[in-house]
């Protein structure tokens, strides 16, 4: 499996947004969509945690969200990339384009400056999570069971950033 380093995923997502699918008027909608997608990643991790924590006889497919038992390892390894992609493609680039909704650029820049350290930390955590996911997947299952995995906290932190961005959009009526 080929791994893409976190900085490339995030920056490539922003570049794709501006070059391939530029915003016309729905940037606030994309911020909300990104928040929804990040929330889903968190639910996927929670479902996988419930599934791998359950005794073998009581595991059932209904515990999983967005994958089937055979795909759990693939889905887990995709979480850091999906988080960064959503942050870069929808959330951050959506906020940066709120000028289309007559939000002053100075206010957007000030908001981005406030969340930048948190976004940088999430990107760093994504790189660490990718490194941990290179190990045999059973080790990640064990970390999920005992609470030592980075993925639940990564999803929660990204969801908080996305929620802050949605609140910023709502504040401006976008």
Q: Could you report the per-residue pLDDT of 82-120, keeping only the tens digit for each?
A: 999 999 988 998 898 888 777 899 999 999 999 999 999
Domain that holds residue 41: 24-171
Per-residue pLDDT, 1: 40
Of 174, 157, 171, give the one whose Cα is nearest residue 35.
157
Per-residue pLDDT, 3: 46
Count up the domains in the chain and report the number. Answer: 1
Q: Per the domain annotation, does 10 fall within a domain?
A: no
Regions of the chain short of the pLDDT cut 70? 1-7, 21-25
Per-residue pLDDT, 122: 96
Q: Per the domain annotation, does 12 fall within a domain?
A: no
User: CA-CA distance, 111 to 98, in Å (whole number)?
Assistant: 11
Q: Per the domain annotation, does 19 fall within a domain?
A: no
Per-residue pLDDT, 21: 65
Q: Per the domain annotation, does 135 fall within a domain?
A: yes
Q: Can you list the alpha helix ranges (DSSP code H) found in 24-71?
A: 27-53
Q: Per the domain annotation, does 41 fall within a domain?
A: yes
Q: Per the domain annotation, does 127 fall within a domain?
A: yes
User: CA-CA distance, 88 to 10, in Å (whole number)?
Assistant: 5
User: CA-CA distance, 6 to 11, in Å (whole number)?
Assistant: 9
> Could you tell me if 115 and 2 are in contact, meaning their C-beta atoms sit under 8 angstroms apart?
no
């Amino acid at each position: 499996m080929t791994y893409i380093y976190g900085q490339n995923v995030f920056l490539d997502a922003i570049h794709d947004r501006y070059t391939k699918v530029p915003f016309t008027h729905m940037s606030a909608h994309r911020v909300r969509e990104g928040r929804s997608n990040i929330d889903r990643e968190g639910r996927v991790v929670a479902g996988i945690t419930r599934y791998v924590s359950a005794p073998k006889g009581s595991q059932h497919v209904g515990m999983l969200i967005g994958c089937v038992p055979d795909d759990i390892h693939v889905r887990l390894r995709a979480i850091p990339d999906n988080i960064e992609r959503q942050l870069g493609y929808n959330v951050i680039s959506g906020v940066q384009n709120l000028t289309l909704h007559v939000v002053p650029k100075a206010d957007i820049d000030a908001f981005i400056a406030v969340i930048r350290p948190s976004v940088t930390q999430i990107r760093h955590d994504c790189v660490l999570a990718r490194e941990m996911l290179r190990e045999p997947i059973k080790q990640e299952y064990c970390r999920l069971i005992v609470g030592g995995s980075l993925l639940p906290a990564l999803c929660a932190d990204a969801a908080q950033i996305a929620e802050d961005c949605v609140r910023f959009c709502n504040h401006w009526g976008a």
